[in-house]
Structure 1
Amino acid sequence: MILQKIVFPENSEMEKSLYYRGNFRDNFSGNKMIVLAQQEILDLITYFNSFSAGKWWKYTRVKHLDFALDFCGHILMIVYHKKIFNGTVVSRVIHKVELESALRVVRRFSIGELPADGIIGIVLTSKLDGTEIYGGYYGTSDILKVDDIHVGIGICTFKREEYVKRNMNLLRREILDNENALSYGHYSVCISDNAQTLRSEEFSHPDIRLVTNKNLGGVGGFTRAMVECLNSEKDYSHMLLMDDDAMISPASLERNYVFLTLLKSEYKDYVMGGALVRLDQPTIQYESGSRWNCGNIEALKMNYDLSKVIDVVRNEVEEKIEYTGWWYSCIPFSQIREKNLPLPLFLHRDDIEFGLRAKGFIMLNGICVWHEAFQNKMPGAVEYYDIRNLGIINAIHYPKYSKRAFKKELFISVSSNIGKYRYKYVSLNLMGAVDFLRGFEWFYGVDTLELHKTLGKYNYVSRPLSAYEGYRGLTAEDMKGYMYEEAVPPFPVRLFRVLTMNGIFFPAKADKPKVVIPWPNIYELYRRDTVIYVDNNGKGAGVKRSRFNLIKAYLQMFRVFRLIDKRFDAVCRDYRKNYDKLTSMEFWKQYLELEVREQDEY
């Protein structure tokens, strides 16, 4: 049985170090073959081509491992086991063999029992010129029961036509129409088109369904996909939620599917999550699972460089996970049926709330998507939803969450935006807190779309960076280095700047504006009068510091604090009491207006 194929990059633009390394010339060919000269090395101990031995041993029924190599020539193959011990990588050779063939052939041999931790990896050294490597696979000779798995991929999209088309074309070619794919016939796609701008003829395929949907944010689109799968004639076992603008890997989907077919019974209700890798730095992992911590979010394994062996091995070490992002989250339908549908939070933290219900999470090397880094986006209305949804989630899931803790989070958010001179966002933070305090009846009956439209007026206007050239002496050269943060100053300097509110009452120290990313090291803004925030589209939004707005913001915040003291406890009880009403199929059919949309599809 094939467990995991050796995979090569799908195109020349992909980062090769995630797939292979070596001392050979980069002669990877279009027919997915690598040619090695004598003594050249092909190292497959990489993010995509190592084998997550410890995870397979713990979670699946596989006990023994084989490896098969598809090659022509003369090869020395060394099989390594690598694991983390006392913070360092410990490596041992568990198999060494020479393979020789004048013709293309597949040679398979036993590696032995799976180790209970770490990874297995292969290194190939050519013994003559012209050795050709076509691929290979990890497999098992164990006789195993294979579960019937069918995964519905749910994609929520809003005016991201080109991203969706790209991903669907890739899925068709590599899985949906590829009879050689391990998961062929086991994936189907439901695209929830919140903008209603996609055309059905562009997605004509028996395993791709396009449905128009009321624009109720990401959670509305993802829930619509869940509802479609629940009502389908197919017996889906899992729902895989994926962002519309993420770059997917068919190898991840293949690995996900095979792993699910072999899960031990005690882990069948676990969620399989995918790591988020930065699109602008395609070997850097943004996170692999997260912890909510009642709002003090901790992204796990952030900034791991997946081109390095040490980080590939470290990435396999398990930590407590509380949720996985819906850029890639494969949820068993047993959880959806048992725990009902998501909470209608519109935007942000819907994946967190749903993840808090899960029985457990599994993360594997090689299961990921590439996505734009979040710190390169201006938050806008998210500043409202983060505070409001923070209150709702903790009210429901953490009865001991206190008004003091809520006020602390509100204070941090408000102070952060004050320090960045983003006073409009302070208004969004405070509105989020006040709306949370309105309680369940308000939340249940609010016109979500009208509310979101109202929040739009608190966005900052972005312009092309060229529009700022010459403004107060800014040059094109001044605006080039915004992606690179200054070093964090020593503690005494930081303390002084905090106590002086980053120097807002001191005279400005420079005439030119400071150009930064939307989530800068705040100490960079010390005594700056004007800041221009540059988003992932290369557009800038300018803000100015204001002592008047600072004082006004804190006065407004303390008024909200008094409201929190008055209403918090009763409101939390209200949300907990009525929680089930917001996650029922009855509510969602009404919310999505499905009674009048059941035939509304392209």
Structure 2
Amino acid sequence: MTVLQRLVLPVDRDLDVLKLYVDETSHRQEEGASRTSTVLGRHSLSVPGSRRVSFCTYFNAFPASYWRRWTVVEEVLLRVRVRGPAHVIVYRSSGKGHAQRVASAETVNDVVEVPLPLDPFIDGGWYWFDVIAGKDGAVVEGAEWSADGIPAERGSATVGITTYNRPGFCVDQLLALGDSPDVLELLDEIIVIDQGVKRVEDHPDFPAAARALGSRLRIIDQANLGGSGGFARAMAETLQAERSDYVLLLDDDVVTEPEGVIRAITFADLTRTPTIVGGHMFDLYDRSVLHTFGEGVEPYRWFYRPAHHTHYGHDFAHAPLRTTPWLHRRADVDYNAWWMCLIPVDVIRKIGLALPLFIKWDDAEYGVRAKRAGFPTVSLPGAAVWHVPWHEKDDTLDWQAYYHARNRLITALLHSPYERGGTLVRESMLITAKHVLAMQYSTAELVCQALEDILAGPAHLHESLAAKIGQIRATRQDYPDARAAEHVEDFPDVRRRRPPRKGREFAVPEGRRAMVRTALGAALKQLRPVDDFARRHPQAAVPHVDQRWWLLAQLDSALVSSADGTRVSWYQRDPARYRSLAVRSSVLHARLLREWPRLSRVYRAALAELVSPESWRDTFETRP
């Protein structure tokens, strides 16, 4: 009998995440029952007398439709161990989110066993169970979903953690792995690829982590080659060692639910074909919020999107699994981000290592490439990490804007099914135009550099991997919008020479025509001289939430805050830069559109060499 999934409870009994493990609000309780259940350990729960608890939760419901679609499992056996008198009720849902009672049993100090077929889950659906304690209370001592008649041999994994100047986060993750003996049984090695100057080994808690992990832990010091360089190194080391069946990629700034590692490996062991198995992402700062349930690539725009029929930012504290129909429909994905992603070694042998993109789009490109080679990706419910949410970052405006623009276009050149990339080039030109109108000149400059590098061909990808980031940072220092301070007082007072006409502040352009009129008016404004008073004083303070191109384009200068609220920059209109960047962007985008067919052939012909272990080996030798 192979255990597929165990009942699990929070490591630290954190009330913010308890709703992800136990639901005590789904049913009306017996009269007079007001006490709540108590977490006794990782796999046990005390239920007060006459109280009902449900395990229709993210971490404890069984995602039957995923096992039905992707694995060899045809039937599961639910085993629930209960001490004391209790009533166990088993439910299932359909892909439409409709719940149905399947079985029930009375028990006293016994094990309840219920065989459950996977036949009805082709479109979606979960299994789960509820427990109603007798009047004197009961203890759920554990539960497992198991399968019989399948190979019992377990695969093993090498963990690859890429880190850059986050030693505290990284060491915490190592300590969590060291405190999870069930997880360690499945791990051959834990490789930390340290690319920063704040070394993991210098952290005061590192010796404790090293003792807990013993010979499994290895630190590799490497030049800063970005996420793709760190994760490619983990892939290469795993291939070379020839010990593991999988490499598990983990970001350095995540908090992992250790049980998810076991579930991902178990699921991958039983898939019909080698399959990439990823974990979902919860919000590190709002821990009951599921930030993303699945990732896709919109082919005509070639842009990130939620997997079909899913939504970003779902809060289980307000909308439990039982009452959220879309969560019951199976979500099929194009890729899984590398905050947590288990990749079979067989897949790496077939399609190669990561594309040398530094950051951004490396995970999406790998998933798309794997899918084209016949290897699907599954984002598995019940396997997850907590990660810093995207809305706390400025990564489309800061130094990462270069990589956002370049890597999106390169992956489209490699994989877009549409002639000249669909609407991608036009959209890129419009986005750059908005940056220029909004006085975000450093961002527009980085996009132009990205276009120039793309047009130069794929040879620059490995050559510039370590050096480009320094060039980008140096470029940004020439632009006021890229220079930030911690305090508003570091800048002159916000003032206007004249108050707004009739006291009216800037209004949102309503409709396409109004938006076009605003853009044309803003373009003409950029050609006029800048008000001298606006050179001495910012005209407005613009919170990050209000940072829209149409608003900034109507100002000559403004203080603009960062996404995480820690810094502020003084945007200043510059007609000369506007003209230069607008013309340069137009010329480069026109050239890219014209040369797209040729460039696509060149990049596709170079792909196999770019991702080969041999090409990466030379890049790994770059001195830190």
Q: Same fold (TM over 0.5)?
A: yes
Match of 1:172 in 2: 178
| 2:50 corresponds to which of 39, 62, 65 | 39
SS of equivalent residue, structure 1 residue 79: strand
Deviations 1:531-581 (A, max 9, x none): 423233633334345666544432222222343356444333222222222
Q: Which amino acid aligns with 2:117?
A: E
Would the alpha carbon gap of residues 263 and 472 (structure 1) be closer, same or farther in structure 2, given more than 3 Å must change?
same
Determine the C-alpha separation between the residues in 1 that align with 2:351 and 2:597: 25
Residue 412 of structure 2 corresponds to residue 394 of structure 1: yes
Residue 494 (structure 1) shift:
6.4
Counterpart AA for 2:353: L
Following superposition, the deviation at residue 245 of structure 1 comes to 0.4
Summarize the Cα distance change of 1:185–1:8 in structure 2 as closer, same or farther, 3 Å threshold.
same
Q: Secondary structure at the match of 2:378?
A: strand
Counterpart residue type for residue 314 of structure 1: W
Report how far residue 590 of structure 1 moved.
0.7
Deviation at 1:279, TM superposition (A): 1.4
Matches within 5 A, 1:50-449: 50-85=61-96, 89-101=97-109, 107-117=111-121, 118-140=125-147, 142-174=148-180, 178=181, 181=182, 184-186=185-187, 188-195=189-196, 197-199=199-201, 201=207, 202-204=209-211, 205-234=214-243, 236-264=244-272, 267=273, 269-294=274-299, 295-300=302-307, 301=310, 302-307=312-317, 308-310=320-322, 314-358=326-370, 359-379=375-395, 380-398=398-416, 400-402=418-420, 405-418=423-436, 420-443=438-461, 446-449=463-466
Q: Partners of 1:387 and 1:554 in 2: how far apart?
A: 16
Offset at residue 311 of structure 1 (A): 7.0
CA separation of 1:83/1:538 partners in 2, compared to 1, >3 Å: closer, same or farther? farther
Offset of residue 100 of structure 1:
1.9
One-letter amino acid of the counterpart of residue 16, structure 1: L
Q: 3-state SS of the aligned residue for 1:501?
A: helix
Task: For structure 1, list consecutive stretches of 5 or more residues without a partner in the other structure.
Answer: 475-487, 598-602
Pair 1:542–1:282, CA change in 2 (3 A): farther
Contact 1:403–1:564 (8 Å) recurs in 2: no
Q: Secondary structure at the match of 1:48?
A: coil
Q: Matches of 1:98 and 1:547 in 2, distance apart? A: 78
Whole-Å separation in 2 of the counterparts to 1:43 and 1:420: 51
Pick aligned residue for 1:556 from 569, 584, 589: 584
| CA distance in structure 2 between the partners assigned to 1:370 and 1:562 by the alignment | 42
Are residues 580 and 262 of structure 1, via their aligned partners in 2, closer, same or farther at CA, if it must alter by over 3 Å? closer
CA contact (8 A) 2:245 2:344 kept: yes
Q: After superposition, what is the alpha-carbon deviation per residue over 1:101-133, rounded to whole angstroms, capped at 9, x for unaligned? A: 3xxxx5131243234321011111222133233
Question: Tell me, what secondary structure is at the counterpart of 1:47?
Answer: coil
Aligned-partner Cα distance in 2 for 1:251–1:46: 15
Cα 1:260–1:74 shift into 2, 3 Å: same
CA distance in 1, matches of 2:154, 2:86: 38
Q: Hey, what does 1:4 align to over in structure 2?
A: 5
Q: What is the Cα deviation at residue 68 of structure 1?
A: 2.3
The answer as to whether partners of 1:18 and 1:47 remain within 8 angstroms in 2 is yes
Counterpart residue identity of residue 294, structure 2: G
Q: Does the residue aligned with 1:263 lie in a helix, a strand or coil?
A: coil
Identify if the C-alpha distance between structure 1 residues 381 and 289 changes in structure 2 by more than 3 Å, giving closer, same or farther: same
Distance 1:404 1:39, change over 3 A: closer
1:491-510 matches, within 5 Å, as: 492=510, 495-501=513-519, 504=522, 505=525
**Distance of aligned partners of 1:565 and 1:4 in 2 relative to their CA distance in 1, 3 Å threshold:** closer
Q: Say if 1:582 and 1:279 are closer, same or farther in 2 by CA, change over 3 A.
A: same
Cα distance change, pair 570–163 in 1 and its aligned pair in 2 (3 A): same
CA distances 1:483-523 after superposition (whole Å, capped 9, x unpaired): xxxxx96x835652453039745999x95412125x95667
Q: Structure 2 unaligned runs (5+)?
A: 26-33, 497-506
Alpha-carbon deviations, 1:297-323, whole Å to 9, x = none? Answer: 212222233442257653352344222
Equivalent in the alignment of 1:450: 467
Give the Cα separation in 1 of the matches to 2:328 and 2:491. 47
Contact 2:164–2:196 under 8 Å retained in 1 = yes
**Residue pair 2:405, 2:450 contacting (<8 A) in 1 also:** yes
**Cα distance change on mapping 1:125 and 1:499 into 2, 3 Å:** farther
Q: 1:479 is matched with which residue?
A: none
Give the structure 2 partner of residue 484 of structure 1. Answer: none
| Cα distance in 2, alignment partners of residues 97 and 304 from structure 1 | 33
What secondary structure sits across from 1:440 in the alignment? coil
Query: Residues 93 and 310 of structure 1: is their aligned pair in 2 closer, same or farther, counting only changes over 3 Å?
Result: closer
Kindly state the Cα deviation for residue 44 of structure 1 after the two structures are TM-superposed: 0.8
The answer for the alignment partner of 1:571 in structure 2 is 599
- In structure 1, C-alpha distance between the alignment counterparts of 2:118 and 2:417, rounded to whole Å: 43
Equivalent residue pairs, number: 562
Q: What residue in structure 1 maps to residue 609 of structure 2?
A: 581
Q: RMSD over aligned Cα, in angstroms?
A: 3.2
Distance change in 2, residues 1:403/1:56 (3 Å): closer
C-alpha distance in structure 1 between counterparts of 2:588 and 2:130, whole Å: 61
Shift of 1:243: 0.7
Distance 1:572 1:296, change over 3 A: same
Shift, 1:155, TM fit = 0.8
Q: Is the 8 A contact 1:327 1:369 kept in 2?
A: yes
Structure 1 residues 498, 28: closer, same or farther in 2, change over 3 A?
A: farther
Alignment-mate amino acid for residue 146 of structure 2:
G
- State percent identity of aligned pairs: 20
Whichever residue aligns with residue 516 of structure 1, its letter is H
Instruction: Give the 3 Å change call, closer, same or farther, for CA 468–231 of structure 1 in structure 2.
Output: same
**Helix, strand or coil for the counterpart of 1:206?**
helix
Q: Measured at CA, do residues 319 and 249 of structure 1 come closer, stay the same or move farther in structure 2, by a change above 3 Å? A: closer
